[in-house]
Structure 1
Amino acid sequence: MISEYKTVLNTAVTEFEEKKSRFITNVKPVSYEEDAVEFINEIKSRHWNATHNVYAYSISGDSLIQRYSDDGEPSGTAGMPALEVIRRMGVQNVAVVVTRYFGGTLLGASGLIRAYSHGASLGLEAAEVVTRKLCVNVNIMLEYTLFGKLQNMLMTNNNIIKDTQYGQDVEITVLIENGREEALIKEVVENTNGRAVIECGEKEYITLDGEGKLIC
């Protein structure tokens, strides 16, 4: 699993006009290539009467998959510029479709590159670029008398407390960045004099906004 990557949080639709040509960008987060293909076909069906439905997508996994199509525009003037925007912004697991309704004025190769690049940028920004970070669930069970001190330590070090259960003892679930769980366990042991029961659980991705604040 990738420790950290950028993607988009939402689906988004943006639109602008260039020399009477109408450009509509649809963006969607996708996890698999099949998702990207399904999304592209959906947009093509929705805009069946458009002059062009240009697309680009980038999907991470065991290997990086990146594909694009000019959909009838001159080679290298549409799909590749859109993919270059995805690469430049460092975004993965995303599909972008830029639809063009021709307005009667030719844009030329450089004009097309600018237009499709602009369309891709607008769409990705509107979809909100976020960071997905792999974390480990660390479950800590301890006596109530130790809870206040440990909670203070966790919050002081900006650890993410996912859940707290109050029973016979207190059970805290902390999300810690993958690879840092051993350091956390050491801190917990030191702060509880070894009186806490600690167990590492499953891994999951958390989502951080552009300022590094937790979204979900």
Structure 2
Amino acid sequence: MAARFTLVETSSARQEIKRSRFVAIAAPAADEAAAKAFIAAHSDPEANHNCWAWRFGQSYRFNDDGEPSGTAGKPILAAIDGQALDGVAVVVTRWFGGILLGSGGLIRAYGGTAALCLREAGKVELVETAAATIACSFGDLTRVQVRLGALAGVQIRDQAFTDTGAVLSVSAPKADIDSLSRLVTDLTSGRALIRWDR
């Protein structure tokens, strides 16, 4: 599966095209509600158009906000998809400058401003994770904690102590489930109990 990315923080870009001003603002968004809130917060009621798009996995929406159908929201979504982004919302605001751009001009202006904004934004790869609980004895605990703590993408989120040892709550990249299970089994000579929430 191809790598997917999201934005690290809010980013913006601006262009002037035939006297119309275009400003794009993009940000990571956790879900549809967050995307809607971001769009509402960054739409300028004084502007002629506030066009937008967002994507979360297979779910996406876009809006032309009064521009001819397909000339604004769809090109913004294409800019998101063109950079393999997910969990992202983008608003492109236009202040009309008096010169009509035509359909092709609008598509290039909205898509281009969104793409410029997204290209300049900091990105981080999205890694699908799985959660596990690892029950181990006090004798194995330090060795397991140190080795897990040294692995990229593995986090010990919580630990609870029992009479004989501890139960660790761990998250790790889904791609590493099998190798991580073997590592813990080898470290503890099979004494640790591992349960993945797949």
TM-score, scaled relative to structure 1 = 0.70
List alignment gaps of at least 5 residues for structure 2: none
Instruction: Tell me the distance in 2 between the aligned counterparts of 1:202 and 1:128.
Output: 31
SS of 2:93's partner is: strand
Q: Label 1:94 to 1:150 Cα distance change in 2 as closer, same or farther (>3 A).
A: closer
Q: Is the 8 A contact 1:140 1:173 kept in 2?
A: no
Aligned counterpart in structure 2 of residue 187 of structure 1, from 168, 183, 186: 183
SS of 1:50's partner is: coil
**RMSD over aligned Cα, in angstroms?**
3.3
Q: Is the 8 A contact 2:149 2:156 kept in 1?
A: no
Q: Is the 8 A contact 1:140 1:172 kept in 2?
A: yes
Structure-2 residue corresponding to 1:51: 48
CA shift, 1:202, in A, is: 6.5
Structure-2 residue corresponding to 1:111: 105
2:118 is aligned with 1:124: yes
Instruction: Tell me the distance in 2 between the aligned counterparts of 1:14 and 1:42.
Output: 17
Instruction: Tell me the distance in 1 between the aligned counterparts of 2:178 and 2:106.
Output: 52
CA shift, 1:5, in A, is: 4.3
TM-superposition CA deviations, 1:43-95 (whole Å, max 9, x none): 23xx11111111111123xxx32221222222222111111111222222221
Aligned counterpart in structure 1 of residue 91 of structure 2, from 83, 97, 121: 97
Q: Is the 8 A contact 2:20 2:98 kept in 1?
A: yes
Paired letter, 1:194: G
List alignment gaps of at least 5 residues for structure 1: 204-216
Percent pairwise identity: 32
TM-score, scaled relative to structure 2 = 0.75
SS of 1:100's partner is: strand
